[in-house]
Structure 1
Amino acid sequence: MKRQTLFMLCTIATAGLLTGCATTMTQSECLSADWYAVGLEDGARGQSMARLGTHRKQCAEFGVSPDVQAYQQGRLEGLDYFCTLSNGLEVGKAGRNYAGACPTGMEHYFMTGFRLGREIHRVRKEIYANRSEVKKAETEMQSEEATDERVVELRYRVRTLEREFGRMQSRLEYLELEEQRIVISDVSAGLTD
């Protein structure tokens, strides 16, 4: 059963990528919907139960009511794949938001990864901004319009940015080591289950 579910999730995820993860259901989708599979897909994407309301509203236009029980069962199983430490890490690193979809017993694991992933994302953005600012200052220093006084200011600014970069780079290295540690811990825990 688990193998079939995993295959179904992979198929759904691939279809979602190919269709751009459409947020509306067409008439034919509403009429032929496997509500368990719809719930499974929504759960695997971390959608809240409010998503069922959206499906209900869309399909009501075509005289179709969702099978709530099948949807909930599928969504809960999908959340088993979404609400993991590793997935929380990936969602956070991608800078995506979390809609609070994980059940209480699973949310701790997801949030542990999510917080670390968000911190990695934040530091990477800061590093990118730092490097952009250094490049901008270096370009300005090379321009013919830059006065000697402005060049001195810019050199000081670049040195300051380089020190900040060193601190940020150290922070990122620490976070990435922490990421490796928790991923290994998560994989090890999965092997003993």
Structure 2
Amino acid sequence: MLRLLFAFAAIGFGLFLTSCNTLSKEECVAADWRVIGESDGAAGYEPQERFAAHAKSCERVKIVPDQTIWYQGYQAGLVRYCTPMSGLMHGQAGHGYSNVCPPATAAGFLRGYTLGNREHSLQSRLSSLQSDYGSKEAEVDDLSDKIKDAPDADRHDIRRRMDDLEDDMRRIRREQRDVEDELDDASAEVQWFQQNPNAPPPVMPGY
């Protein structure tokens, strides 16, 4: 039994090491470092960390990546990444930003990224509130069934718990309405940005 446990542990550790590799052995052997670099740049990876990870992956087959060729591809890919619409897309997806865009294109990327990330954060918050509300609602339903057959001595505690849950649900509904209003505003800003990605943001009345 102990040997079996050690075997499973070894397999699990091997799978963990495999999952840490950015490239397979076959990919290292057949690598076109310019193409790989372009793909990495287009994804917005931090260059030093990403190339070091490739080099570590390919140590297994004694292949040293061509950093010069890779970086040429990376710079080409970065041109595709550092655009306003790319920023919006990555923000909406909840991706991080590794501060890789050069000054000439960073402002446009960040404008889109900030809008998209705000929309993503609000959508995540709304989903969390809806989930929280649903779980509390289900608990209230369970307690409503339970209280029917509960001894008199327990009914007071059950009713108090139900009252607390219903207070929480009212609070969640209020917060949910606020978040929905903010999300409507954020979505309207995103829609305007999608139509005018290279234009400066409009000046709002009162500013």
Normalising by structure 1, what TM-score?
0.75
1:109 match: 108
Query: Could you report, residue by residue, the CA deviation over 1:117-166 in whole angstroms, capped at 9, with x for unpaired residues?
Result: 22212211211121122222222222234633333333222222111111
1:32 match: 30
The unaligned stretches of length 5 or more in structure 1 are 1-20
Q: Cα gap change, 1:141/1:104 in structure 2, threshold over 3 Å: closer, same or farther?
A: same
The one-character-per-residue Cα deviations of 1:35-54 (angstroms, maximum 9, x if unpaired) are 21111111111112212222
Question: What is the letter of the counterpart of residue 120 of structure 1?
Answer: E
| Distance in 2 of aligned mates of 1:89 and 1:114 | 4
Q: TM-score, normalised by structure 2?
A: 0.71
Pair 1:74-2:85 in alignment? no
CA spacing shift, 1:181–1:145, aligned 2, 3 Å = same
- Of stretches 111-120 and 41-50 in structure 1, the one that deviates more from structure 2 is 111-120
Give the total of aligned pairs.
169
Gaps of 5+ in 2: 1-18, 148-157, 201-207
1:44 corresponding residue in structure 2: 42
2:183 alignment counterpart: 172
| Corresponding residue of 2:5 | none
Does 21-30 or 110-119 show the bigger shift? 21-30
- In the alignment, residue 86 of structure 1 is paired with which amino acid? M
- Residue 173 of structure 1 deviates from its aligned partner by 0.7
- Separation in 2, partners of 1:74, 1:156: 57
Further displaced range: 123-132 or 27-36: 27-36
For 1:35, give the aligned amino acid: W
Does residue 133 (structure 1) correspond to residue 132 (structure 2)? The answer is: yes
CA contact (8 A) 2:108 2:198 kept: no
Cα 1:22/1:76, change in 2 over 3 Å: farther
Find the counterpart in structure 2 of residue 150 from structure 1: 161
Return the alpha-carbon distance in structure 2 between the equivalents of residues 152 and 22 of structure 1: 49
Q: Name whichever of 27-36 and 40-49 sits farther off.
A: 27-36
Give the deviation of 1:82 after TM superposition: 1.2
Which letter maps to 2:169?
A: V
Q: After the TM superposition, which parts of structure 1 deviate over 4 Å for at least 4 consecutive aligned residues?
A: none
- Change in 2 beyond 3 A, CA 1:172/1:67: same
Quote the Cα distance in structure 1 between the aligned partners of 2:81 and 2:59: 28
Q: Which has the larger radius of gyration?
A: 2
1:81-140 deviation per Cα after TM superposition (whole angstroms, max 9, x unaligned): 111222222222222212222222222222222222222122112111211222222222
Give the secondary-structure state (helix, strand or coil) at the position aligned to 2:196: helix
Q: Show the counterpart of 1:87.
A: 86
Report % sequence identity: 28
* RMSD over equivalenced CA pairs, Å: 2.5
